[in-house]
Amino acid sequence: MTSRYESSPASLRALRDRLTAAAKREGVTFGRLQQHVGVLVVTQLMASITDRTGDPLLLVKGGASLELRCGIPQSRLSKDLDTVIRGDMESVHDRLGKR
């Protein structure tokens, strides 16, 4: 997606309008692009949960991983977000608790 906006969308309606335009431009459905944006938001949160050395504790795998790497048209549709925990769940809970 090559278009840039000078500001963040002011409302949910403005965000939907931008996603609708982007979906048409990219040749994908609105729902597919909406799901892609949701995955991006969640994976950015996951990437911020790190160990003491700065390495992520949660990694994305499966269809969502392919979509993030290759783009929407080249990936298979996945309704879930598969993850791997590097370490143990207690470490992830500890890091989330410090937010």
* Rounded Cα–Cα distance for residues 36 and 51 (Å): 26
Q: Is the pLDDT of residue 63 over 80?
A: yes
Summarize pLDDT for 21-54 with one digit per residue, the tens. Answer: 999 999 999 998 998 899 899 999 999 999 889 9
The span from the CA of 60 to the CA of 46, in Å, is 9
Q: What is the pLDDT of residue 22?
A: 94
Mean of the pLDDT values across residues 60-64? Answer: 86
pLDDT of residue 94: 85
Task: Measure the CA–CA gap between 52 and 59, rounded to whole angstroms.
Answer: 16
**Amino acid 25: pLDDT:** 94
Do residues 40 and 22 lie in contact, with contact meaning Cβ atoms separated by under 8 Å?
no
- Determine the pLDDT at residue 13: 94
CB atoms within 10 A of CB 81: 17
* CA–CA dist 97, 99 (Å, integer): 5
